[in-house]
Amino acid sequence: MTGKIIGALAIGAATFFTHAASATAYLGCESCSSAQMMQTAQNAGAGRFIVGDIVNKKASAFVVSVVQHVGAKPTLEVSSDVLSPLESKGFDGLMAFYDDAPVGYQKVYDLVIDASSAHPTTASSWLQTMPFTLRGGGHVTYPSGNPSAFDLIDESPAQSKFLTWIGSMPQFGIAKAMNDLTSAISVVQVFDMTHRPGLAYVVTFADGSAMSAHVDIAQRPAQLTVNATSAIDSHGNTIPANQVAITGGGRKVYDYRGSGSAGDAPRMRTRLGYFGVTAPASVAFACVQLEASGTHCTSYAGR
């Protein structure tokens, strides 16, 4: 299951995920001349566009119309338009988001929750799959309790509290980046992946488990969402988000022979039991999906 926070994060967050009735299409054109910005709009086809240059901090609006000709193919005609105050505000938000550390369109914050019981995480394999290269963040303290990815993978009040904590975090400029992003996407809609803003978080918990969340700007309104398929325990085993994920449709090994939290194995067995699957009490076990009889887990001694 995937958790979502819509419209109601902390610190006045009713404004976090509001959106305009009709967002204007945005096209990026860095360090472009006026002629190049106009050409960028024409290349996009018929419609009204905001073409922005983050580097030079300027934006222009263009209307591209189809002009019919007798005995000839129609052509596209580009004319300049005036940015509305709301559109100017949206572009200001996009510029501010771009300038927020780490500077760039797509950002990920690595958050490590400190506690005396912390174990080294083996989440690096997951982190390498993230499409974000601009990284920020650091060590943080969770406001109450000592949660694990096991506790937050499913939709629940605890998961909502977790997402609210992330979205309103003042450290590392996270709350500002969130506000700047939502200010921008409430007005403009970015289709070009090169210039599309992204905001993600990878959280390593005190027990060494880890999980990510991101702002899904494709949704209207945008949503701060847990990536349930990203959850791993401190041994690097994937915490299944559903029954199919236990085996991945084939065979999956859960190995607790290395370093990590002693609580991982029993919690994983409890997790599998939630889906009606029984795992052996061995330090490693493999689960397979059998067409005739469902999911089965047996002791594993391989490498």
- Token pair of 282 as six digits: 């061995």
pTM score:
0.82
Is the pLDDT at 303 greater than 90? The verdict is: no
Is residue 156 within 8 A of residue 164, CB to CB? The reply is no
Is residue 91 within 8 A of residue 65, CB to CB? The reply is no
- Calculate the dihedral angle through the C-alpha atoms of 180, 186, 192, 195, rounding to the nearest 10 degrees: -10
Q: Taking residues 210-221, what's their average pLDDT? A: 87
The rounded percent of the chain whose pLDDT value lies above 90 is: 67
- Local structure of residue 271 (DSSP, 8 states): H
| Cross-strand bridge partners of residue 200 | 108, 214
- Calculate the dihedral angle through the C-alpha atoms of 155, 157, 158, 164, rounding to the nearest 10 degrees: 100
Is the pLDDT at 161 greater than 70? The verdict is: yes
Q: How confident is the model at residue 272 (pLDDT cuts 50, 70, 90)?
A: very high
Is the pLDDT at 285 greater than 70? The verdict is: yes
Residue 77 phi, psi (nearest 5): -115, 130
* Mean of pLDDT over the chain: 85
- Peptide bond preceding 157 in cis form (omega within 30 of 0): no
Q: Taking residues 201-222, what's their average pLDDT? A: 89
Distance CA 151, CA 5 (A): 17
Q: How confident is the model at residue 290 (pLDDT cuts 50, 70, 90)?
A: confident
Is the pLDDT at 16 greater than 90? The verdict is: no
Is residue 212 within 8 A of residue 230, CB to CB? The reply is yes
Residues 6 or more apart in contact with residue 57 via CB below 8 angstroms: 95
Distance CA 59, CA 27 (A): 10
Q: Taking residues 15-29, what's their average pLDDT? A: 65
- Local structure of residue 101 (DSSP, 8 states): S
Q: How confident is the model at residue 274 (pLDDT cuts 50, 70, 90)?
A: very high
Distance CA 68, CA 76 (A): 9
Is residue 37 within 8 A of residue 49, CB to CB? The reply is no
The rounded percent of the chain whose pLDDT value lies above 70 is: 86
Is the pLDDT at 301 greater than 70? The verdict is: yes
User: DSSP string spanning 241-275?
Assistant: SSHHHHHTTSEEEEE-SSSS-TTHHHHHHHHHHHT
Of the candidates 301, 79, 88, which has an alpha carbon nearest to the alpha carbon of residue 188?
A: 88
Distance CA 250, CA 246 (A): 9
Q: How confident is the model at residue 7 (pLDDT cuts 50, 70, 90)?
A: very low
Q: What is the pLDDT of residue 133?
A: 58
Is residue 265 within 8 A of residue 256, CB to CB? The reply is yes
Q: Taking residues 114-132, what's their average pLDDT? A: 46
Q: What is the pLDDT of residue 295?
A: 92
CA atoms within 13 A on the CB side of 26: 30
Q: What is the pLDDT of residue 218?
A: 80
Is the pLDDT at 261 greater than 60? The verdict is: yes
Q: How confident is the model at residue 280 (pLDDT cuts 50, 70, 90)?
A: very high
Pairing outcome for strands 24-28 and 188-190:
parallel
Q: How confident is the model at residue 134 (pLDDT cuts 50, 70, 90)?
A: low
Is the pLDDT at 46 greater than 60? The verdict is: yes
Query: Residue 75: in which H helix or E strand, if any?
Result: strand 72-81
